[in-house]
Amino acid sequence: MTIAAERSLNRAVVIRTGSLMGSGFSGYGFAEASGDPLNLVQLTTTCPLVQSKPRNPLPRVRKLALSLPEGHEVEAWGEPTFRVKNKIFAMYAHANTHHGSGRNAVWCKAKPVNQGLMIKADPSRFFSPPYVGPSGWIGVWLDGDVDWEELLELFRDGYRMTAPKKLLARLEDE
C-alpha cells in the first residue's frame, strides 16, 4: 500500500494505490510529500481520486429476493432475474449495461396504478423501466439512500402477483 500526495496551492492532491483502492477508506493516512516521507495528510471525499466507490447493491438485493419462498435467481439478458416457479417477479439492472442506463436499479413487477402513484410520489427514486414499464413494473434506483424495507415490500407485491397459491400461503405464514 502506498499513498502519495503533492501539495499545491494549499490543497492536497492524493493518489492511492494498492490494497486501499476501492475499499471506501477515508480519514487520515500517511503520505509522502515534499521530501517528508511521513507527512500526515487528511484524505477527504471531496477529492475525486479519493471518493469511495459506492457499494454494490446486488448482494443485498439478492438476499431480499431470495428470502421469499422458493425464490431463485436466473441470469437472463445479461442480468440477474429473480423468480418463483421460473416466473420473473424482479430483475436487477446493472449500471454498466443498457438496462441500468448508468445507475444501478431493480425492476419489480407491479400493477400499473401502483407504478404511477410511486413515480408521482418520488420520481428521484422510482421510474418506469424500459420494456416492462408499460405493463406496470416499477423501477427503483439503488444509488441513493435505499429504503430496503420498502424494496422488500415491492418484492413481496411482485411475488404475490407471480407465485402460485400454495406458495402465497407460505409467504403469509412468515
pTM of the complete model beyond 0.75: no
Write down the pLDDT at residue 43. Answer: 41
Residue 150 has a pLDDT of 96
- % residues pLDDT > 90 (the chain): 53
What's the pLDDT at 84?
97
Position 53 scores a pLDDT of 53
Which pLDDT score, from 0 to 100, does residue 170 have?
Answer: 85
Q: Is the pLDDT of residue 161 over 80?
A: yes
pLDDT for 112-146, tens place per residue? 999 999 999 999 999 999 989 989 999 999 988 89
Cα–Cα distance for residue pair 74/86, rounded to 1 Å: 8
- The DSSP 8-state label assigned to residue 133 in this structure reads G
Could you report the per-residue pLDDT of 25-84, keeping only the tens digit for each?
A: 444 444 444 454 444 444 444 445 545 556 799 999 999 999 999 999 999 988 999 999
pLDDT at 8: 36
pLDDT of residue 147: 95
The whole-number pLDDT of residue 99 equals 63
**Cβ-based burial of 17 (10 A; exposed 0-12, middle 13-18, buried ≥19):** exposed
Quick one: pLDDT at residue 27? 44
Tell me: domain 58-173, CATH 3.90.1150.30, correct?
A: yes
CATH code 3.90.1150.30 region(s) in the chain: 58-173
Q: 140 by DSSP, 3-state: which?
A: strand
Strand order in the sheet with 71-76: 71-76, 79-84, 87-93, 105-108, 138-141, 126-127
Other beta carbons within 10 Å of 121 = 9
